[in-house]
Amino acid sequence: MKTCYKCGATIELEKVSRRDECPKCGSDLRVCLNCAFYAESKANACVESQAEPVKEKDRANYCDFFRFKEKGTRAGGSGTKQEKSGKAEAEKLWDELFKKR
């Protein structure tokens, strides 16, 4: 499910063009903050190494690598339920390994 980075409104568009705006808050949709490749921890805040640097992450741009982030996907996102349970399992094994209780 596609959602607006700013207000969380559901986006029904199949493809997002540079001029598309959120129907609820009016913010640009084709922005780094809505992209599946966006990650603050990476250089230029982008996982895609060939993408041109974008200064304003919340403004519409012409990036050829833009892919609208689906809710629950990772890059800079929160992760899926399965990923979270995997993290919990890893922490449990770590604690058992070092007898942390």
The model's confidence at residue 100, banded by pLDDT at 50, 70 and 90, is low
What is the per-residue pLDDT across 42-82, written as a single tens digit (0 to 9) for each? 888 999 989 999 999 999 999 999 999 987 655 444 444 44
Categorize the per-residue pLDDT at 1 as very low, low, confident or very high, splitting at 50, 70 and 90: confident
**pTM tops 0.95, yes or no:** no
Cα(96)–Cα(92) distance, integer angstroms? 6
Alpha carbons 39 and 20: distance in angstroms, whole number:
22
Question: What is the residue extent of each domain of the chain?
Answer: 1-101
Residues in the chain: 101
Retrieve residue 90's tokens. Answer: 């890893």
| 15-52 per-position pLDDT tens digit | 899 999 999 999 999 999 999 999 999 888 999 989 99
Rounded Cα gap, residues 28 and 26, in angstroms: 7
